[in-house]
Chains A and B, each alone.
Chain A
Amino acid sequence: MVKSKRKPVEEIKNSITDYSRILTVGCGGCASVCLAGGQREVNELNAELNVAFRADKQSKKLGSYTVERQCNMQFLIELDGKVKDYDCIVSMACGAGVQLMAERFPTVPVFPAVNTVSIGVDREIGMYEEKCRACGECVLAYTGGICPVTRCAKGVFNGPCGGTNRGKCEISQDIPCAWLDIYERLKSQNRLNDIMKLQEPMQWKNQVQRTTVQEPYEKRYYR
């Protein structure tokens, strides 16, 4: 899922300081799962903002609400009645949610409360690891289920490079070498042939905004 991390309260406060009625909206999807922007984090953020504004002797009305997901317009409809009572919205969703919110309420300023970090997995509670860069040309089939685009610092497709350093990446002894891991996994599966041949240059797809239409729906959208 999409992993995000909340921005420092000061940054959020600076972006909304000119408004007096603020609606903080949480997201029950990924942002909630990674403990960055669910209802609990909405309450925490508002409490922090309250303290911060009070210290500046500013009086604000801070509202809170959390929708199922901010990345689907259907879930934003329920905000229509509430938003009119506020001057701005603070969205705790990922970048996609923030943008759909801004699209839904084009006359109301919408501010992000989190930084969208990655597509990743849950390692421990509150600890997430990036796994995918959404390059749009998945190569995991020949790399033993280990992504060189995400994990290799130089994103090489014909690794491991000469910087492999005692099993780690040349840039840090804290980062395992992705290509060494790829090599070891393929070797254990007797699949080294998969990386014996030269991999052609990547045809990068993540260069313009992409719209995804599933095949059964192509007729509906592309006539």
Chain B
Amino acid sequence: MKAGSNLEKILRAGHFAFTGELGPPRGTSVEHVKEKAQYLVGHVDMVNITDNQTAMVRMSSWAASLIVKELGLEPNYQMVCRDRNRLAMQADILGAYAHGLRNILCLTGDHQQFGDHPNAKGVFDIDSMQLVAMVKKMRDEGKFLSGEEIHDPPKFFIGAAANPFADPFEWRIHRLAKKVEAGCDFIQTQCVYNMKKMREYIKMANDMGLTEKTYILAGITPMKSIGMAKYMKSKVPGIEVPDEVIKRLEGVDKKKVAEEGIKIACEQIEEFKEMKGVAGVHLMAIEWEHKVPEIAELAKVLPRPVVE
């Protein structure tokens, strides 16, 4: 065990992992976090707590992680490179570990121009790949990035994101290899809609031996509406939505589009359960947390395993 988090135990025991996501509030309401979290307790192995997602100011990830943790839900502390330099990052990593956080997800972060402070100075002191390597160095060598020793180093289960669908496709697998080399223990992918490409990507990851070194969790976001599908297709960078998905949503009664979206997601999950090289799925039901129990039920991933 590298960190002994619930996610790590589940993956090492060979179970198919099922993780969720929760965006902290744009305010100080603990109730707001609890309200969202209640739907996830017992239904996911771990929940990602986003870090100023889409560059909008929110309650900090570590703080919301602690609230979630109190409810018996294991957080995945997300950290982006946009808002902190290497000193602040390492300080937060120490603090987060001291408070019992055990998973971390290292991301570059959406550009500040997307958010509510578009003229903020983007820090980007190090990139996500270098962040992964830094957390690993802190854990495995017990050293700060500077090389100085850490007293009681933090031992995180280290995650990173991967996007199999961004250009250039043939380079994506090499970038994954770089992240594995940097030291990530698990990967959560961008939302998958193009299954053909995903199969190809996972096959390459298997062939290159990457899936023996890291656990890949496939990203799933059920479509709530045709509008959402079209928006994701045309407006969200790095997301690929094949026309078949949109056609399928258009083919059902208007009132049943969301249901169909969940059905598609469940079919994907079923396929991932059988796919060699995929260790689980990461469900990003953003602002749809209350649907998670239903989706988990339909995807037949309940009850969640308990590994001591």
Contacts and interface: CB of A to CB of B under 8 A. Distances in A.
Given A162-B162, A164-B237, A164-B238, A201 B167 contact: no
B86 interface: yes
Contacts of A161: 108, 127-128, 166
A156 interface: yes
A184 B170 CA distance: 11
Interface string A20-64: 000000000000000000000000000000000000000000000
Nearest to B131: A201
A167 B82 CA distance: 22
A162 B236 CA distance: 11
A155 B113 contact: no
A162 B128 CA distance: 11
A160 B108 contact: no
Nearest to B134: A201
A17 interface: no
Nearest to A180: B167
Contacts of A200: 130
Residue among A161, A183, A204 with most chain B CB within 10 A: A161
A3 to B, nearest CB: 21
B125 A153 contact: no
Contacts of B114: 171
Interface string A174-209: 000100100110000000100011111110100000
B2 interface: no
Contact of B108 (A154, A166, A184): A154
Interface in B179-234: 181-182, 190
A174 to B, nearest CB: 12
B64 interface: no
A13 B41 CA distance: 64
B14 interface: no
Contacts of A196: 174, 177-178
A161 B238 CA distance: 9
A162 B168 contact: no
B122 interface: yes
A198 B238 contact: no
Contacts of B110: 163, 170
Interface string B145-178: 1000000000000000111001110010011011
Interface string B108-137: 111101100000001011111110011000
A158 interface: yes
A16 to B, nearest CB: 28
B81 interface: yes
B124 A155 contact: yes
A200 B127 CA distance: 10
B167 A160 contact: yes
A198 B130 CA distance: 8
Interface string B56-94: 000000000000000000000000011000100000000
Contact of B81 (A153, A154, A177, A197): A154
A117 B182 CA distance: 36
Given A162-B190, A183-B168, A153 B111 contact: yes
Contact of B171 (A157, A160, A201): A160
A72 interface: no
Given A171-B113, A196-B178, A198-B178, A163 B127 contact: no
A165 interface: yes
B178 A158 contact: yes
Contact of B127 (A157, A164, A171, A184): A157
B237 A170 contact: yes
Contacts of B182: 198
Contacts of B174: 192, 196
A8 B130 CA distance: 42
B107 to A, nearest CB: 9
Nearest to B238: A162
Residue among A153, A154, A199 with most chain B CB within 10 A: A154
A167 B178 contact: no
Interface string B234-248: 000110000000000
A101 to B, nearest CB: 28
8 contacts: A153-B113, A154-B81, A162-B166, A162-B237, A177-B167, A180-B167, A201-B130, A204-B125
Given A158-B130, A165-B237, A196-B177, 15 more contacts: A154-B122, A155-B124, A156-B108, A160-B166, A160-B167, A160-B175, A161-B127, A162-B163, A164-B237, A165-B238, A171-B113, A171-B114, A199-B129, A201-B126, A201-B145
- What 5 A-B pairs have minimum CB-CB distances, sorted nearest first? A162-B163, A165-B237, A170-B237, A158-B129, A156-B127
